[in-house]
């Protein structure tokens, strides 16, 4: 448990220090965010705010989690590589949009192909390392997916990464929600590690405990990033940060054999993604919109709710969902 606390604190301080150094650098390089024309008018004032700030917390997450891992830490390395892989796709997208002044960045199919490739490689590793069974929430049973394991994990991983990416639409929203989700995952992984050790599975127990340290590093780094990302944000994480966070969260849950818990503790992510899907289906089939704007955080914003209140509401919802998630295991 000490390593979890140290991981949170060190990652927090590390991210704060990097923020002081990196934000002025992003400003000098003129890596400012462009605001979409069809977005809320209140967001136009955010144009030019430095983006690609995800670098600030990716570095601490990687270094702290690896430094504080002990003995069996191959799961941690695999999860970190997944985080870096998704972050690299986001970085490429941000770089093309911001530095090369191409508004589209990577094309949708290019991002999707990259995400699928990383997901397939990770799912194959997980299949060989932890098997094809996944825990079913609120039960004491596991579901053996057999050969369906890999395509299902690929779907969950790609879906989670893109859902977290969609959540990154208001100051402090993605970082605030992920802070709560990752702390919950850290608790779950720690207790799962102790349970594995008591069952005689020593190596798996150490791996799970190390994953709890990684999740704690995500928590501390998100907490530090919030110092600069709360409204009015001094920096945005960009796709660099949101895809890395999504990748880190889902990779840990896959290795814990608990990916089916993500729709509960990551309920806000799912709501954001479903709102976009439903909006598109409704508009194309009926010519009518369900929400004022999607993702759903914009629906509340356009309804007159201040941005800070929307973020607070979604964070409160995440706390409640994570408590339910803890009951589920």
Q: What is the pLDDT along the chain (329 residues), one digit of tens a residue?
A: 789 999 999 999 999 999 999 999 888 877 666 655 555 555 555 666 888 899 999 999 999 999 998 887 899 999 999 999 999 999 999 888 887 666 667 888 999 999 999 999 999 999 999 999 999 999 989 999 999 999 999 999 999 999 999 999 899 999 999 999 999 999 999 999 988 888 888 888 889 999 999 999 999 999 999 999 999 889 999 999 999 999 999 999 999 999 999 999 999 999 999 999 999 999 888 888 888 888 999 899 888 899 999 999 999 999 999 999 999 98
CA angle 175, 102, 243 (to 5 degrees): 25
pLDDT score of 39: 56
The residue count of the chain comes to 329
* Euclidean distance between CA atoms 257 and 70, whole angstroms: 21
* 170 in Cβ contact with 311 (< 8 Å): yes
Q: How many CB atoms lie within 10 A of CB 110?
A: 14
Tokens standing for residue 156: 């969950």
Plot region of 232 (φ>0 → left; ψ -120 to 50 → alpha; else → beta) = beta
* Euclidean distance between CA atoms 99 and 29, whole angstroms: 8
SS3 208: helix
pLDDT score of 1: 77
pLDDT score of 158: 97
pTM of the model: 0.94
* Euclidean distance between CA atoms 86 and 90, whole angstroms: 6
pLDDT score of 38: 54
pLDDT score of 34: 61
CA angle 50, 55, 58 (to 5 degrees): 145
Which residue ranges make up each domain of the chain? 2-131+138-261
pLDDT score of 46: 60
pLDDT score of 295: 92
């Amino acid at each position: 448990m000490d390593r979890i606390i140290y991981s949170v604190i060190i990652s927090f301080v590390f991210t704060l220090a990097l923020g002081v150094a990196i934000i002025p650098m992003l400003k000098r390089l003129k890596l400012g965010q462009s605001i979409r024309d069809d977005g809320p008018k209140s967001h136009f004032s955010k144009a030019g705010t430095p983006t690609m700030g995800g670098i600030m917390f990716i570095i601490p997450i990687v270094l702290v989690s690896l430094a504080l891992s002990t003995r069996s830490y191959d799961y941690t390395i695999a999860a970190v590589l997944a985080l870096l892989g998704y972050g690299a796709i986001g970085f490429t997208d941000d770089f093309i949009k911001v530095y090369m002044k191409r508004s589209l960045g990577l094309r949708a199919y290019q991002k999707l192909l990259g995400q699928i490739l990383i997901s397939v490689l990770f799912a194959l590793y997980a299949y060989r390392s932890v098997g094809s069974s996944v825990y079913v929430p609120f039960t004491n049973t596991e579901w053996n997916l057999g050969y369906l394991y890999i395509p299902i994990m690929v779907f969950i991983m790609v879906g989670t990464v893109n859902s977290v990416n969609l959540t990154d639409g208001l100051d402090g929203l993605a970082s605030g929600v992920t802070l709560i989700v990752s702390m919950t995952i850290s608790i779950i992984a720690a207790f799962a590690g102790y349970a594995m050790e008591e069952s005689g599975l020593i190596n798996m127990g150490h791996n799970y405990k190390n994953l709890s340290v990684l999740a704690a590093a995500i928590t501390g780094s998100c907490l530090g990033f919030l110092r600069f990302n709360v409204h009015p944000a001094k920096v945005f994480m960009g796709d660099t940060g949101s895809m890395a966070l999504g990748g880190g969260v889902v990779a840990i849950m896959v290795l814990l054999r608990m990916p089916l818990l993500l729709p509960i503790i990551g309920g806000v992510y799912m709501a954001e993604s479903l709102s976009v899907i439903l909006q598109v289906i409704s508009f194309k089939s009926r010519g009518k919109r369900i929400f004022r704007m999607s993702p759903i955080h914009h629906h509340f914003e356009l309804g007159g709710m201040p941005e800070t209140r929307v973020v607070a509401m979604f964070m409160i919802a995440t706390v409640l969902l994570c408590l339910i998630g803890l009951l589920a295991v």
